[in-house]
Homo-oligomer: A and B are copies of this chain.
Amino acid sequence: MTFLKEYNDFIEKEINAIDLPENPANLYNPLRYFLKLGGKRIRPALTLMAGKMFGVSVEKTKNAALAVEVFHNFTLIHDDIMDNAPLRRNQKTIHEEWNSNIAILAGDVLFVKSYELLGKNADKYLNDLFTIFSKTAREVCEGQQMDMDFETRESVQEADYIEMIRLKTSVLLGCALELGAILGDAKEEDRKNMYEFGIHLGIAFQIQDDILDLFGSPEKVGKQPGGDVICNKKTLLSITATDLAKTSEDQEKIQQLVKEIDLELKVNETRNLYTRLGVRKSCEDKKEFHYNQAIAALNQIPEEFSKYELMNLAHNLFDREY
| A residues lining the B interface (CB < 8 Å) | 21, 23-24, 26-27, 78, 81-82, 100-102, 104-105, 107-109, 111-113, 115-116, 119, 123-124, 126-127, 130-131, 134-135, 137-138, 141-142, 144-146, 148-149
Residues of B within 8 A of A81 (CB): 101, 104
Q: A24-B142, A24-B145, A145-B26 are in contact. Are A119 and B104 (CB under 8 A)?
A: no
Question: In the complex the two chains form, is B126's CB within 8 Å of A130's CB?
Answer: yes
Question: In the complex the two chains form, is A145's CB within 8 Å of B105's CB?
Answer: yes
The prevalent SS among residues of A at the interface is: helix
Q: A26-B148, A127-B123 are in contact. Are A78 and B115 (CB under 8 A)?
A: no
Point out the residue from B21, B23, B109, B126 that lies within 8 Å of A127, measured CB to CB: B126
> A32–B142 Cα gap in the complex (Å)?
15
7 closest cross-chain pairs (CB), A and B:
A27-B145, A109-B141, A24-B145, A82-B101, A126-B126, A112-B137, A116-B134
Residues of B within 8 A of A105 (CB): 78, 82, 141, 144-145, 148
Point out the residue from B27, B100, B130, B141 that lies within 8 Å of A130, measured CB to CB: B130
Question: In the complex the two chains form, is B108's CB within 8 Å of A78's CB?
Answer: yes
> A126–B130 Cα gap in the complex (Å)?
10
> A101–B107 Cα gap in the complex (Å)?
14
Shortest distance from the beta carbon of A62 to any chain B beta carbon, whole Å: 18
Point out the residue from B108, B123, B144, B149 that lies within 8 Å of A141, measured CB to CB: B108
> A84–B159 Cα gap in the complex (Å)?
37
Residues of B within 8 A of A123 (CB): 123-124, 126-127
